[in-house]
Amino acid sequence: MTTPLRIVVVEQNHDRAQEITGALREGGWADVTVIADDASLTRTLAATDPDLVLIDLTNPRRDSLETLSEVSGARQRPVAMFVDQSAPELSAAAVNAGVSAYVVGGLSGDRIRPVLETAFARFRMMSQMQSELDAAKRALAERKTIDRAKGLLIQAKGLAEEEAYQLLRKTAMDQGRRLIDVAQALVTASELLR
């Protein structure tokens, strides 16, 4: 971890909260806020804007976090859950499946650190995959627009496909605009004229 993480722990029980905070400090995470799971939870969370939320797997308030991550949209924050020792296989299964993290109980610093680090690495990877996916989708949409613009030129001016493409490219260069912008303008204009 190179950047300091802002972590929020949702825990009503004072002793348990202390234990978790202590374990996080030991693990090198100092920016930890503990909040209770009462009615103010969502508002406090929105105000704190944490990078990571730790909440007990059995806490029904978990559902409130779902809306929160929906509201924050692209800046999805990972939610880590801690569970008690009775379900260690669950945390492994969850982390493998790509849930942000399930931290097993008995939160000693040396145990919590690798789990959280794995979770974060996975979260970053998923975010990157998502942005790559978005980029790929955008590229595909741009290709379609350019193809339509080419088609319009082929129809209107009787050009060959390659000539249509060259014309688009030349126009873009002459006007100092992006190829996709020129193509989009042409498609929009043709729709208006139809």
Partner 1 sequence: MSRYKVNCGFVPLVDSAPLVIARELEFAANEGLDLELLKQPSWSALRDLLALGHLEAAHILSPLPIAMTLGLGGFQCDVDALMVLSVNGNVIAAGNALVARMRAQGWHPDLTDAEAAARALEAVAPKPLRFGVPFPMSMHRELVEYWLKGRDIALELCSVPPPMMAEALTSGEVDAFCVGEPWGSRAVDAEAGELILTGRSIWAFSPEKVLAARRDWVAENGAAAAALMRAVYQAGRWLHEPSNRMIATDILARSEYLGLPADVIERAMTGHLLAQARSLGTAVPGFLHFHTGAATFPWRSQARWIGERLARRYGLPVEQTAEIARGVFRSDLYRNILGPTGIDLPGASEKQEGALVHPTAVASSRGGLILQPDRFFDGEVFDPAGE
- Residues in contact with partner 1 by the rule CB under 8 A: 38-40, 42-43, 57-67, 69-70, 90, 93-94, 97-99
Beta-bridge mates of residue 71: none
Q: Cα 188 to chain center, whole Å? A: 32
Judged by CB, which is closer to partner 1: 68, or 172? 68
Residue 54 C-beta: closest distance to partner 1, Å: 14
Start-to-end C-alpha separation, the chain: 57
DSSP strands (E only) in 57-143: 79-83, 101-104
Strands 7-10 and 52-56: parallel
Q: How many CA atoms lie within 13 A of 182 on its CB side?
A: 18
Distance CA 178, CA 180 (A): 5
Residue 64 C-beta: closest distance to partner 1, Å: 5
Judged by CB, which is closer to partner 1: 99, or 167? 99
Judged by CB, which is closer to partner 1: 43, or 194? 43
Residue 59 C-beta: closest distance to partner 1, Å: 7
Residue 167 C-beta: closest distance to partner 1, Å: 31
Residue 185 C-beta: closest distance to partner 1, Å: 24
Q: Which residues contact 28 (CB under 8 A, 6 or more apart)?
A: 1, 113
Judged by CB, which is closer to partner 1: 57, or 154? 57
Judged by CB, which is closer to partner 1: 96, or 108? 96
